[in-house]
Every structure is written in C-alpha cells, then in structure tokens.
Structure 1
Amino acid sequence: MQFSAGSALLAILLLWSGWAPFDRTTWLLEIFPVLLVWPLLWRCRQSYPLTRLLYSLILCHAAVLILGGAYSYARVPLGFWLMEWFALDRNPYDKIGHLMQGFVPVLAAREILLRGGYVQGKKMLQFLLLCIVLAISAAYELIEWAAAVMLGQGADEFLGTQGYAWDTQADMAFALLGAVLALLLLSRWHDRQLCQLASADV
C-alpha cells in the first residue's frame, strides 16, 4: 500500500471515530498510539522506509485501535457478532486488539533487527522477538493499570475487562499468540520484501 493512500485512509478513520465517540477520554487513550506512531513513520518514510507488508499491517492495527476507541472495546459491533457466533459470554473485540499487539509489533521488531544485522542465528532471533512482544504487552498493561489508578471508575471503558478477573494475563497470551502466528505465516513473505527493499537501496 502506498504510504500517502494509507495516510489518507487513516485520517478519514480518525475523523469518523472522533466525530461522536462513545466516550471521549476512552477514544483519546485508544488512538494515542496511532497519533504517536504514524507521524514518526511519516517523518522517516524517506530516510528509513519500511516494507509494504509492514506499512499495511500497521494501518490494520491502527484501524483496530480506532474502532475500539470509537465504540469502546466492550461495545464494538464486530465483537458482538463474534460473541453470538461463538456463544461467548463477553465481547471479545479487545482480544483482537491484543492479538494485533503481537502480530504487528513482532514484524516491526523483526524488520529492525534484520536490517540492522543486530542478531545472528534464526533461533535467537525468534526468541528475542517473542521477548520484545511480551515486553510491549506488559508495558501496555502497566499503562492500563496507571490509567485505572488515575481515572478511577472512568477507566472502565479503556480497560474493557468486562468483569474478567484474568483479563491481563489473557491479553498478554493473545499478544504472544499473535506474534507466533505472524512469524509462522508471514516470515517468508517478509523476507522477500526485505530483499526487495535492500535491492532498492543499492
């Protein structure tokens, strides 16, 4: 996907989601990573361009966050459909978000480590990538905890626990699952695009 086209789509999604979100504070908290990362990618698009695969996945991840911000995770319609289809007792949309929290960052970390030649050995690379994803997931859970402490009852929509006592552990498990799936399904495709990127730089 062209970066400019992705940026335009992202702007439209942000405007749509921010027009009348379920809760303005929740919306701001959920879209904050998008507001942080996308300008950085824009600034580095010439000096350190990423693979098209990674740009597309980051856009998908941003869309998941934006949708969760617009409705709040416990109220996203897709989650209610999944809840009905699989006879679940809670809206599982937040788990899609945490799955993406592993699926996309693991490829971003993989791209940085491989392009920089920071890691030698496939097994060590896989191990470090999973460690990075778990560290990101744990950091996000700490941010959620801090938000809960500062906002009190107002953080319920941001946390999206829906009364589930093991939500934090489940979130981290889904991030790990997302990372494993991305490595299993996309590593070869990612390698081909990395080779194309390297050839373009020569």
Structure 2
Amino acid sequence: MPRFKIIDFILLAIIAAVFIWSAIQPQDYFTWVLEVSPAVVLLIILVITYHRFQLTALSYIILTVLMVLMFIGGHYTYDDVPLFEGIQKAGHFKRNEYDRFGHFLKGLAILPIREVILRSSGVKSKGWADAFSLGFIMTIAALYEIAEWLTAKIAGTPAKDFLGTQGDIWDSQWDMSLAFLGALLCLLLFSRYHNKMMAVSGLKPE
C-alpha cells in the first residue's frame, strides 16, 4: 500500500484551511455552495482513491490550486474577487477577470487527466494521451457551461452570481476557449517534466 507523503499532507492542510476560510461569511451562501461543490466532490474522490491510485506531486499541486481557486471564487463570487477588482479599476477594464483567469487555469487539469489516461487506460502513446486529454478538458469545459446555464434557468435570479457572465453574451465561448488555451500551454510547458515525475513513480510513457 502506498505511503502517505508529506507533500500531500501539506496540500491537504492548505485545502482544508482555505475551505474553512471560504465558508466563513461568504458573500452569498447559495452561490458559495454552487461554486465549491465541484471542488468538494473532487477532494472526496481523491481521498477515497488515495491509497489505491496516488497521483504525482505535480498533479496534486495542480488540483490543489484549482480547488483553492474555486473556494476563493465561492467566498467572494467570481464577479467580486477584491484583487481582480483592483486590477479592473487600475486598467479601466469592463469586467472583473477572475472568472476568465480561473477558466484559463482550469486548463491545468489536463496533466492529472493525462496521468490517469497513461496509467490506467492502456493508452501508452504520449501523443494519443495528449489528444484524449485535450478532448476531455473541452468536454468538461462545455459540460460546466451547460451546468451553469441549467442552474441559472432552474434557480433564476439567485444563480446570477454563479453564472458570472457580467453582461457578456459570449462569456461561455470565452470560458471554453481559455480552458483550451490553458490546457494547450500546460502541455507544451510541463509535459516533459510530468513524464519524468511519472517515471519516478514507476511509469515510463513511450
């Protein structure tokens, strides 16, 4: 059985600390629940599968960043994250760009997805694994936009902050495009390092 690694404990402690902070007097509890629920479900899955299928430290770091990102967005709502409000005012931008920044970073999830594909699906070709991972990222991005739309249609006005379009009719297209761009850049910049980390864990992609 794989041993619990110190780096994983540190990452889990960071997630727990930010989650607790996020839950204390968020701007809107309904929006908070909607925003943090995917991260909580992901965390539960990672904890349950930890001893049977440990990911590389790089994958866990990326997933930690993404969960923290969602906890921050849930606390303030994606439209009102203070740091990006400051950037919005300083740059005279039309919108708070935290939402789009978040969707770009969600493209980083391609590495954990790629790792799962290479280690468990029988696909050993890095090229095919990269292609399948990009497709999976786009599927997740599209499904997330559909889920946001359905939630807004069902819940109405209370889900406005969850939708986070900020008046942009092309918001969904922007979000999906940025997730794809983030994933593509992540592959180009980090795939070789990711291969080395997997090799240390006992996997040597072809």
Asked if these proteins are the same fold (TM beyond 0.5), I'd say yes
The yes-or-no answer on 1:21 pairing with 2:26 is yes
Q: Pick one of 47, 50, 57 that aligns with 1:42.
A: 47
Identity %: 35
State the partner residue of 1:113: 117
Pairwise CA distance, 1:15: 0.9
**Cα distance in 1 for residues equivalent to 2:128 and 2:90:** 39
State the partner residue of 1:169: 173
Pairwise CA distance, 1:88: 1.8
Amino acid at match of 1:72: T
Structure 2: give runs of 5+ residues left out of the alignment.
1-5
Q: Pick one of 64, 77, 102 that aligns with 2:69.
A: 64
Report the CA distance shift for 1:155/1:198 in structure 2 as closer, same or farther (over 3 A). Answer: same
State the partner residue of 2:137: 133
> Which residues in structure 2 correspond to 1:68-87 (within 5 Å)?
68-87=73-92
Q: Across the two proteins, how many residue pairs are aligned to each other?
A: 198
Amino acid at match of 2:87: L
**Cα distance in 2 for residues equivalent to 1:59 and 1:164:** 29
**Cα distance in 2 for residues equivalent to 1:36 and 1:113:** 20
The yes-or-no answer on 1:3 pairing with 2:8 is yes
Report which of the two has the higher share of helix: 1
Pairwise CA distance, 1:148: 0.5
TM-score by length of 2: 0.91
RMSD between superposed Cα atoms in Å: 1.5
Q: Secondary structure at the match of 1:195?
A: helix
> Which residues in structure 2 correspond to 1:143-182 (within 5 Å)?
143-182=147-186
